[in-house]
Amino acid sequence: MEYTEKVAEENFTVIGEFILLGFSELPNLQGFLFGIFLIIYMIILIGNGLIVVITMVDPTLQIPMYFFLGNFSFLEICYTSVTLPRMLTNLWTHNTAISLMACAIQLSLFLILGVTESFLLAVMAYDRYVAICKPLYYPLIMNHKVCVQLVVVSWIAGIPGQVAQTYKVISLPFCFNELNHVFCDVPPLLKLACGDTSAQEFFVYAVAVLLGMVPFLTILGFYLKIITTILKLPLVTGRRKAFSTCSSHLIVVGLFYGSGIITYLIPKSNQSGIKKILSLFYTIVTPMFNPMIYSLKNKDVIAALKKLLVQILA
């Protein structure tokens, strides 16, 4: 047993950088992929940027629901900017090397912002719960001070746990440096580690359950209460309006958690291609569609966007 551990320790070398394989299996499509991802990134920046602006300047949107939506859109810009610019650079320059420190920074920011998204989605669900289930107390419960506190907690809640998780993963002894992924993430990094990584995997699961699944289960709890309340409403039009204010949020929750849960709950899966697609789904595709999901079903957002465009073009 001691001999085996010694051999494992002697075989690994200190790795100072990783090679992100990304889409190396598609050498003839590098230019095409660069163009596609550049267009997607511009759509994310413009779409979410417009949501941020209108929720700040339009007087009709100065209510808690749109305050949270503006923060969520800003978060999506930050979340995407952690991974997508690096992917674009790699596709353009064909230099896919990333230093250990740069990988650690990217991983840490990616994990922290992922937790922020989970908590912010839970906060938005709580806002809808109070608005629908306790409408008379809504102005009192969701006052500006409470809204700011909820947002601040959402932004900082994941920092200690995810910084610790990043340190645990990055400080592992690595036997290989070819990272079969499009950015630095926990599951593909664990595959490169030497020896037994069960302790690190347990820590990943524990943090994922605490900072990911707890907000998800909280969201489900709020929406069970919301649906129960809506079904008790006497008028069909009232039910329809209440459902319409929640449907956009539910779609976003489904897209984010659906792909994220599949990716993180099967860390030993060998289906790297599927996992790459899923990671792109919740880091790029979902942020791209969020502004459309929220605006197409919301007359106030559409009206505010039209007013802003008129002012810009005038």
Let me know if residue 102 belongs to a domain: yes
Let me know if residue 2 belongs to a domain: no
The number of folded domains in the chain is: 1
Let me know if residue 7 belongs to a domain: no
Let me know if residue 217 belongs to a domain: yes
SS3 content of the chain, % helix, strand, coil (to 5): 80, 5, 15
Q: Please write the tens of the pLDDT for every residue from 160-211.
A: 888 988 988 888 888 888 888 888 988 888 888 887 777 777 877 787 778 7
Let me know if residue 130 belongs to a domain: yes
Let me know if residue 3 belongs to a domain: no
Of 5-14, 107-116, 171-180, which has the strongest mean pLDDT? 107-116
- Of 194, 181, 195, the C-alpha closest to 267 is 181
Q: Where are the alpha helices (DSSP H) in 209-235?
A: 214-231
CA 95 to chain centre: 26
Let me know if residue 6 belongs to a domain: no
Q: Please write the tens of the pLDDT for every residue from 261-307.
A: 766 665 554 555 666 777 777 788 888 888 888 776 678 888 888 88
Let me know if residue 118 belongs to a domain: yes
Residue 92 structural domain:
14-313
Q: Is the pTM of this model over 0.85?
A: yes
CATH number (domain holding residue 284): 1.20.1070.10
